[in-house]
Amino acid sequence: MHKKLQQAFKRLLKPLFVLFLVFTLALSHADGALAASGGRIGGGSFRMPSSGRGYSSPRTYAPPGGGYYPAPYPVYPGGGFGFPFVVPVFGFGGGLFGLLIFLAIAGFLVQSFRRAASGGDEVGYSSNPTVSISRLQVGLLANARELQQELNYIAETADTNSPEGRVEVLQEASLALLRHPEYWVYAGGGTQQARLNAAESTFNRLVLAERSKFSEETLSNVNNQLKEATRKQALPSAEQLDNPTRLITEGPGEYIIVTLLAATLGKFEIPQINNADDLRQALRQIGSIPGEQLLAFEVLWTPQAENDVLTSEDVLAQYPELKLV
């Protein structure tokens, strides 16, 4: 009797084990379906530009004989009151010496009032200014295949180490999206602000959140480090196994998602996006950020690899905040 129970248990265990394997494979395929390949372009640093308003070289004057020499006294921007040259100034005596002392004090007071009025936010009057971090996302129909090709070309040729190159990439990516309004389906975006000493970690969190949605990065150019990888072939889903013709007839996917991230000095904000006009305005704004304001940027898109798939279910799962435009 005991042996019969063991044999019956073994016969039951085998189909249970097979069922467990099938269930595990099904879950792994479902997880894989929620990720596609991605491309990435980025660069920059969170350091104050050397040419910013926070630094100014000593002023010079031109003597009668030509040439330029440092001014013989410190010059303080923002001050200046037109008192007569020989009138005594508040107990400092008359003449040039008293006037220079008064101008120094006046310049110091003017700058102090400016700092107090702006709360230290004005770029150039604070060593820890405000940084605006903007994110703009656009979901397009996958028929916009030329957009993927444009982004691939930008990634392969961009100079992401220079301020001019970074501005050009952001402009070209914005223009590529502006040229394809007929494919716009979804959009979303927003801006958050942080001080310079905390902005880098905020920016990196947003970048990592977007990169984590990719199954792998098959093309990237970050700080002029160009990397290309061959797309790893994922296991077909159960639906594709039931209908093998889908593996051949299906195109590159239903949607393309493009994300633009920009960290800028000072207060900058893209509009709330509720329709195509709002999206057009936001693309123009983020594409026109000047080089002296742009600290860092990222352009990310998925799918990147040819014949990769990003379905409507993937978009709903990974980008639930996007709105129809």
Q: Give me the DSSP letters along 28-55.
A: HHHHHHT-EEEEEEEEE-SS--TTSTT-
Phi, psi of 79 (to 5 degrees): -90, -165
Q: What is the pLDDT of residue 241?
A: 42
Non-local CB neighbours of 287 within 8 Å, separated by 6+ positions: 170, 171, 173, 174, 175, 178
At position 89, the amino acid (one-letter code) is V
Asked if residue 2 is part of any domain, the answer here is no
d(CA 312, CA 317) in angstroms, rounded, equals: 9
Quick one: which of 106, 38, 81 has its CA closest to 257?
38
Q: What is the pLDDT of residue 232?
A: 59
Asked if residue 152 is part of any domain, the answer here is yes
Asked if residue 166 is part of any domain, the answer here is yes
Beta bridge partners of 141: 255
Q: What is the pLDDT of residue 318?
A: 95
Q: What is the pLDDT of residue 112?
A: 62
Asked if residue 11 is part of any domain, the answer here is no
pTM: 0.66
Asked if residue 107 is part of any domain, the answer here is no
Helix 163-178 vs helix 276-287: angle between axes, to the nearest 10 degrees? 160
Asked if residue 279 is part of any domain, the answer here is yes
Asked if residue 139 is part of any domain, the answer here is yes
Asked if residue 124 is part of any domain, the answer here is no
Q: What is the pLDDT of residue 25?
A: 34
Total domain count, the chain? 1
Phi, psi of 54 (to 5 degrees): -70, -15
Residue 307, SS3 per DSSP: coil
Residue with structure tokens 């249970």? 16
Q: What is the pLDDT of residue 102?
A: 74
pLDDT under 70: residue ranges of the chain: 1-35, 49-95, 110, 112-126, 231-253
Residue range of the domain that includes 152: 34-49+130-228+250-324
